[in-house]
Amino acid sequence: MSTVGMPIRLWCLVRGCSSAFKVVIGDGNDIDDLKEAISNKLPNDVKAIQLVLWRVNIDQSQIKATSIDDILNDEDKLEISGLTIGEAFPSIEGNNVRVIVEVPVFAEQPSASGK
């Protein structure tokens, strides 16, 4: 996958884990590309098509104190594969977690290092 447009750093968090990881993707790339970039950071048995993503804005220092399940809703689910990163995340600043990732239950959960 190539970076399309201005590179953006998105901090991601796998649902049920407490360590965030980052992906760098272009603002012209789409949600399908984001899933691919995230799957490259996860164990090999996790495929991009299996991922469910939500758009959030959580300070990394508050991850352990935040009930992730309470803030996830269908409105923030990133379901439109062709939506560009720039459209989905119009103003990215700082190091807040912007994406919650749900991996299939049969897949191995990533370690703190992201691999």
Q: What pairs with residue 6 in β-bridges?
A: none
Q: Residue 15: which residues within 8 A CB-CB, separation 6 or more?
A: 68, 69, 72, 100, 101, 102, 103
The reported pLDDT for the residue numbered 44 is: 78
| pLDDT, averaged across the chain | 89
Question: The pTM is what?
Answer: 0.86
Q: What DSSP designation does 89 have? A: S
One-character DSSP codes across 34-58: HHHHHHTTS-TT--GGG-EEEEEEE
The reported pLDDT for the residue numbered 36 is: 96
Domain boundaries, the chain: 7-102
Give the H/E segment covering residue 14. strand 7-14
Domain 7-102 sits in CATH 3.10.20.90: yes
pLDDT digits (tens, 9 = 90+) for 24-48: 999 999 999 999 999 999 987 889 9
